[in-house]
Structure 1
Amino acid sequence: MSSSTASAQAGSHPWFTDGEHPDPASLRLLSAAETHELLHRELAGLSVPLEGPLPAQPFVVPQRSYDELFDVARTLLALVRRAVLALGGGWPERAEALGAEPGDYPLLSGLDHTETEYCSMMARPDIVIGERGPQLLEFNVSGTFGGPNETHGLSAVWRRTHSERFFGHDPLAARVRAFEDVCASRGLPRAIAVVGSLGDLLDTADVRFQELELEQFRRRGFTADFFEPDALTEALGRPGSLRYPLGLRNFAPADWKERGISMEPVRDAQRSGMLLLPPQSSGLLANKKALALVSEGRPWMTRAERRIADRHLPWTRITLPGRTAWRGEEHELVRLVLDRPERFVLKKAIGMMGREVLVGRHTEPVDWQRAVQAAFVSGDSVVQEYVEAATCPLELTDGQSLYTAQVAPVLSPMLFGDRPGGCMARYYAAKPAAGGVVSVSAYGASENAVLTWA
């Protein structure tokens, strides 16, 4: 290993390093100003935060580590899916078993077989590297998680900034291939309606992601167009055959409900025969209680599956009164969590973007006690053992200079139809948020792509 590589990798977890390649910073072709300008120009409108220090390179990990992210994600997603399916004979029953409100799932189609077939079609876990390697903290399972456009755009930038061609799966291409599989298996024409809402976005640059998504479908022979909900009914082309037999659900029903957007046009499209993917049953796989079921262990899990869950899934339990095993001893769960706040994280079972997450070691004792007691009364949350995220070096730029910082990234490999679809990372380039939660929208975290050596 060269001295430059050794110094850059000092303090890194072995998962991030391999000793066979040079420090990516030594392969940089552009200056700080050129890199900064390229990032702003190429990423405008793709939802990538461009405030403060920006990355001057991707996260580059060994091939074994890159592949392991997708292997862990795929294996644990299959276990979560099976755990949810085992909760009942139909999706309404499964939602009830997880304590979900029926009104939160207005787009359940009633076609249980179809919902089951595609419920895990698109998924993005959040993973940190702990002492024993990848630790999966939670799953985002839907069509609305962040990452595809950002990872696609950032990866394109990094292909131009360094002399080495790094490799990364393309999330937008992987998503199109997943829909190609649906068309092939169901004999459907290649025509897709991307259903969403631009909301309050007024600057045309802010909607560049929309054209980028449509372009990927069109390159593969799809007729693809974007529709706001109020234009969807007209776009169906009735009477007669549907113009768009497939729909990409690019919105979260909870978000639309909060903004007062009617979902009736979408339900009408479903009743007319549009296959809207991913189905809303996917949201039940994102329910953190499902992850807790796998962590606790299900009777049908094999010894190998239990070992994988124990290795890559932090200890997680639903906030229900009773005794539980933790680190080889029996404990009253609520007492355990109240007495050791530094060891646990409290999360609402249904939530996103880091909202309603409390990290015990970063929470005032009175606030922790109040939140834990409320969670055990309502049974609407999970507690998860805290994982100290390992750090790695990343070259950053403010547009004038370049410097290397040690950061602790949250890694998010994406799966589309069980295919690897690229990996995004979130991290704090400067001082971490006071609450200890890594969130772009809530706490201003930065984003980057995770790549490997070509």
Structure 2
Amino acid sequence: MTSTTSTPSGTVHPWFRDGDRPDPASLRRLSAAETYELLHRQLAGLSVPLEGPLPAQPFVLPRRSYEELFTVARTLLALVRRAVLALDGGWPGRVEALGADPDDYPLLSGQDNTETAYCSMMARPDIVIGENGPQLLEFNVSGTFGGPNETHGLTEVWRHTHRETLFGHDPLAARVEAFEDVCASRGLPRAVAIVGSIGDLLDTADTRFQERELAQFRRRGFTADFFEPDRLTEALGRPGSLRYPLGLRNFAPADWTERGISLEPVRDAQRSGMLLLPPQSSGLLANKKALALVSEGRPWMTRAERALADRHLPWTRLTIPGRTRWHGLEHELPGLILAEPERFVLKKAIGMMGREVLVGRHAEPEDWRTAVDAAFATGHSIVQEYVEPAVCPIELTDGTSTFTAQVAPVLSPMLFGDRPGGCMARYYAAPNPEAAGVVSVSAFGASENAVLTWN
């Protein structure tokens, strides 16, 4: 859950404003104490930080801005998908072409058509609002990105706290609808095994979110249950046909491998015919090198696609020595990055939670030079032009009173089977110099909230 910002400053961008609507704070019908208590009661067990100031209201966008987030996300996801599919060699060849380690993709099914059909099934970009509107910094494409349960829970809170009904797509419902599409297209019974591990939860978490996920499936007529790896053989229903022909992959294979959890039960389920979604090929769409390919431009891109990428995707390049074009002029790429660190961000092509991200304007000169040299020596990173994020006001509460802060949110609209699935936001309620420009919940205590719009 990471992106990059600097300390909020400046005026509110018009993209955030709707002059025809009231201030959402004026619609709150609960006291600060009641709102604070409700947040704690409803969100316990999720990743939403519940220490310090909490949001007293959602981020409320004009309808045009809210819808634009999903349009930008959907269009750029399609371009990233096509850029990855254009690489030769099937999915194993694409792993190699993007410089990834094949051992990190142990659950590639070998069913290339299936992998291709569902590789972009679940996605969550990280977007900031720059001078020209939404700027997409990176994609999270998998079944394990944060946001669905948190956004669902926060939206439920705001429906109780505000007099006027606000609108937001429900990520849990949208995910079920995506699985309904799979069942309809493949003629499968409505039965899904949610595959995960209790050990993936936070120490202070409970399992209520699992019950919420299961309830969403069951409400729509699915047989659904949660399976840890040591119980997964139960889902196979041997002898006979599969009890659960579909699996929701709620885990990252690398996390299980690091913790010594065997993937063999999962492979066994796949060999027996379980369709595990999203497939592991989705991880290649999250590889930041794919964004660099789109930013640089592919021969098959139309003028309209290039224009959209130029408008909504910050200039992004692979860290490969050579000449490149930047702001209308030719440059040697390594020299450009070293000469103007305040204009760029270095990111490992594969990473999460703020790992291996360095923001030039927040780095010491020697650290920047060392990181740039290493990035160009290995070729495993991308460099992206820094986007100064716009700020907007948000009302916060400490449980006794409310106050307004100017924050620079990272907005994350979620897509499930290409349909909108709600939007979350991360931000710092106060400047956090230790974060060095990286917005991370787990590493630096960023706050979370839901993004809604007007009915």
Which TM class, normalised by the smaller chain length?
A: over 0.9
Structure 2 equivalent of residue 199 of structure 1: 199
Following superposition, the deviation at residue 234 of structure 1 comes to 2.8
Query: Given that residues 45 and 202 in structure 2 are in contact (C-alpha distance below 8 angstroms), is that contact kept between their aligned partners in structure 1?
Result: no
Structure 2 equivalent of residue 5 of structure 1: none
- How far, CA to CA, are the matches of 2:142 and 2:222 in structure 1? 21
Amino acid corresponding to residue 153 of structure 1 in structure 2:
G
Supply the RMSD in Å over aligned alpha carbons. 1.1
Structure 2 equivalent of residue 284 of structure 1: 284
- How far, CA to CA, are the matches of 2:248 and 2:379 in structure 1? 33
Query: Given that residues 47 and 202 in structure 2 are in contact (C-alpha distance below 8 angstroms), is that contact kept between their aligned partners in structure 1?
Result: no
Residue pairs, 1:130-169, within 5 angstroms:
130-169=130-169
Amino acid corresponding to residue 241 of structure 2 in structure 1:
S
Query: Given that residues 317 and 382 in structure 2 are in contact (C-alpha distance below 8 angstroms), is that contact kept between their aligned partners in structure 1?
Result: yes
Following superposition, the deviation at residue 202 of structure 1 comes to 8.5
Structure 2 equivalent of residue 77 of structure 1: 77
- How far, CA to CA, are the matches of 1:255 and 1:203 in structure 2? 16
Amino acid corresponding to residue 428 of structure 2 in structure 1:
Y
What is the TM-score of this pair, normalised by structure 1? 0.97
1:63-118 deviations in Å (ceiling 9; x for gaps): 00000000000000000000000011400001100000000000000000000000
Following superposition, the deviation at residue 406 of structure 1 comes to 0.3
- How far, CA to CA, are the matches of 2:208 and 2:393 in structure 1? 31
Query: Given that residues 270 and 276 in structure 1 are in contact (C-alpha distance below 8 angstroms), is that contact kept between their aligned partners in structure 2?
Result: yes
- How far, CA to CA, are the matches of 2:256 and 2:188 in structure 1? 29
Structure 2 equivalent of residue 245 of structure 1: 245
Amino acid corresponding to residue 146 of structure 1 in structure 2:
G
Query: Given that residues 122 and 278 in structure 1 are in contact (C-alpha distance below 8 angstroms), is that contact kept between their aligned partners in structure 2?
Result: yes
Residue pairs, 1:256-295, within 5 angstroms:
256-295=256-295
Structure 2 equivalent of residue 222 of structure 1: 222
Q: Which has the higher contact order (CA 8 A, sep 6+)?
A: 2
Structure 1 equivalent of residue 334 of structure 2: 334
Distance 1:350 1:113, change over 3 A: same
- How far, CA to CA, are the matches of 2:293 and 2:202 in structure 1? 43
Residue pairs, 1:286-305, within 5 angstroms:
286-305=286-305
Structure 2 equivalent of residue 431 of structure 1: 431
Structure 2 equivalent of residue 316 of structure 1: 316
Q: Secondary structure at the match of 2:145?
A: coil
Query: Given that residues 95 and 102 in structure 1 are in contact (C-alpha distance below 8 angstroms), is that contact kept between their aligned partners in structure 2?
Result: yes
Aligned residues: 445
- How far, CA to CA, are the matches of 2:242 and 2:400 in structure 1? 54
Following superposition, the deviation at residue 204 of structure 1 comes to 8.7
What is the TM-score of this pair, normalised by structure 2? 0.96
Query: Given that residues 433 and 443 in structure 1 are in contact (C-alpha distance below 8 angstroms), is that contact kept between their aligned partners in structure 2?
Result: no
Identity of aligned residues (%): 84
Query: Given that residues 80 and 290 in structure 2 are in contact (C-alpha distance below 8 angstroms), is that contact kept between their aligned partners in structure 1?
Result: yes
Amino acid corresponding to residue 278 of structure 2 in structure 1:
P
- How far, CA to CA, are the matches of 2:429 and 2:440 in structure 1? 12
Query: Given that residues 12 and 392 in structure 2 are in contact (C-alpha distance below 8 angstroms), is that contact kept between their aligned partners in structure 1?
Result: yes
Q: Secondary structure at the match of 2:346?
A: strand
Structure 1 unaligned segments of length 5 or more: list them. Answer: 1-9
- How far, CA to CA, are the matches of 2:269 and 2:204 in structure 1? 28
- How far, CA to CA, are the matches of 1:78 and 1:207 in structure 2? 34
Structure 1 equivalent of residue 5 of structure 2: none
Distance 1:107 1:200, change over 3 A: closer
- How far, CA to CA, are the matches of 1:183 and 1:341 in structure 2? 50
Deviating above 3 A after TM superposition, structure 1's stretches of 4 or more consecutive aligned residues are 200-205
Query: Given that residues 411 and 425 in structure 2 are in contact (C-alpha distance below 8 angstroms), is that contact kept between their aligned partners in structure 1?
Result: yes
Structure 2 unaligned segments of length 5 or more: list them. Answer: 1-9
Query: Given that residues 295 and 317 in structure 1 are in contact (C-alpha distance below 8 angstroms), is that contact kept between their aligned partners in structure 2?
Result: yes
1:126-147 deviations in Å (ceiling 9; x for gaps): 0000000000000000000000
